[in-house]
Amino acid sequence: MDVISVIRTKRDRGELSPEQIDWVIDAYTRGVVADEQMSALAMAILLNGMNRSEIARWTAAMIASGERMNFGSLSRPTADKHSTGGVGDKITLPLAPLVAACGAAVPQLSGRGLGHTGGTLDKLESIPGWRALLSNEEMLHVLDTTGAVICAAGDGLAPADKKLYALRDVTGTVEAIPLIASSIMSKKIAEGTGSLVLDVKVGSGAFMKNIEDARELASTMVALGTDSGVKTIALLTDMSTPLGLTAGNALEVRESVEVLAGGGPADVVELTIALAKEMLDAAGIKDADPAKALADGSAMDVWRRMIQAQGGDPDAALPVAREQHVVTAPESGVLTRLDAYAVGVGAWRLGAGRARKEDPVQAGAGIELHAKPGEQVTAGQPLMTLHTDTPEKFDYALASLEGSYDIAPAGTAFTANPIVLDRIA
């Protein structure tokens, strides 16, 4: 086989054969297929799609490119969660220790930022000393001793996905539903978790802008997981407005710790508890109360042990950006819209994300929000604060925020979207 014929098949809206899929994934993993060739194929998939059998075979080939893990030695049932990515989506940080505090083991393999969305590993690496890269033995040890681990997928776990994941970020192919589904599910199935809850974001700040596309993605992933023997549930959740009051790595860690301490923004707390209940139910744990575990400090205890087990110092000061710029309200009234995508792009431009797969991120960069839709604002009051180490980026970030919010006259009625829009199982 040759890669050109594979690219042409999908370019011309054809169906890739199982043999073509197996070959191209294996050849790309071995370096026989170059990045620019896989980029062309990824773009053809984005434009022309894949049917269910193609997606299933692509996912199986990704899994077959590496090893599979097994958590059968653990005394607890395993439950994992994955988000398709959003703005201010720091939910994994409080969620993993919360579910562990309620009796499940949470093997959370996470990723880095894609496009305008933040990456869990990028956030946690703002904690001094914390390590994302663990061997399989280290991962199992942290999981066994603390109940939760958040780390990068090892080189042996779906290595084809690791290469393709980074490539999609810088070639405009992040939004391809077949590639999103196969990327997520290849890692999760190979990881060996017993149950999986998917948080599929919907709205301007998500890769799925409308609920129909989100349902298609969720249904595809639920089918892939179920067919592989993993109990899989998906929640469709709103991402038209940023989650919480921060978008940026250290900023989001700070907010996550507030949630674990029993505070934090109401929307972050609500979604964290909703996902925790789904994970615990899928794992067969029926009598735990996630809200109580947040309130009594047991989730915080797990967080501290988990961070320390991976070399981090939970008491260390988090990085703070050297420069700030405040955006103020131009008039008084009710904030009725705050576009998640614009905030995500703004944070990315400030240095919280990367333009190339090898780029570093600024730990302290991002955007801090001072008001959310539905709240009254006064002319001149701060709406958001921009944080960066490179002040020359302020104008670039401010350009993305133009027209990103609406202020209506005082007294205007406002109804917020529910956070959980639908459930697919």
Using the 8-state DSSP alphabet, how is residue 4 labeled? H
Give the pLDDT confidence score for residue 409 in this predicted structure.
97
For 27-63, write each residue's pLDDT tens digit: 999 999 999 999 999 999 999 999 999 999 999 999 9
pLDDT band at 64 (very low <50, low <70, confident <90, very high): very high
Token pair of 380 as six digits:
């001149």
Give the pLDDT confidence score for residue 357 in this predicted structure.
66
Q: How many CB atoms lie under 10 A from the CB of residue 18? A: 14
Looking up tokens 């398709």 gives 84
Strand, helix or coil for residue 166: helix
Q: Are strands 405-408 and 333-338 parallel, antiparallel or unpaired?
A: antiparallel
Q: How far apart are CA 44 and CA 49, in angstroms?
A: 8
The number of angstroms, rounded, from the C-alpha of 121 to the middle of its chain's C-alpha atoms is: 10
Cβ(26)–Cβ(66) below 8 Å: no
Active site (catalytic) residues: 82, 161, 168, 183, 187
For 305-341, write each residue's pLDDT tens digit: 999 999 999 999 999 999 999 999 999 999 999 999 9
Give the pLDDT confidence score for residue 255 in this predicted structure.
98
pLDDT band at 134 (very low <50, low <70, confident <90, very high): very high
Give the pLDDT confidence score for residue 207 in this predicted structure.
85
Torsion of CA 163, 168, 174, 179, to 10 degrees: -50
Cβ(205)–Cβ(244) below 8 Å: no
**The dihedral sign for the CA sequence 280, 285, 288, 294:** negative
Q: How far apart are CA 81 and CA 195, in angstroms?
A: 9
Least confident of 58-62, 150-154, 253-257, 292-296: 150-154
Strand, helix or coil for residue 337: strand
The number of angstroms, rounded, from the C-alpha of 149 to the middle of its chain's C-alpha atoms is: 16
Q: Which residues does 335 contact at the CB level (< 8 Å), separation at least 6?
A: 329, 371, 372, 373, 374, 375, 376, 377, 383, 405, 406, 407
Percent of the chain at pLDDT exceeding 70: 100
User: What's at 411, amino acid-wise?
Assistant: G
Query: Which domains does the chain possess?
Result: 3-49 (no CATH), 80-309 (3.40.1030.10), 323-408 (3.90.1170.30)
For 216-239, write each residue's pLDDT tens digit: 999 999 999 998 999 999 999 999
* Alpha helices (H) along 65-202: 92-101, 120-124, 136-146, 159-169, 177-191
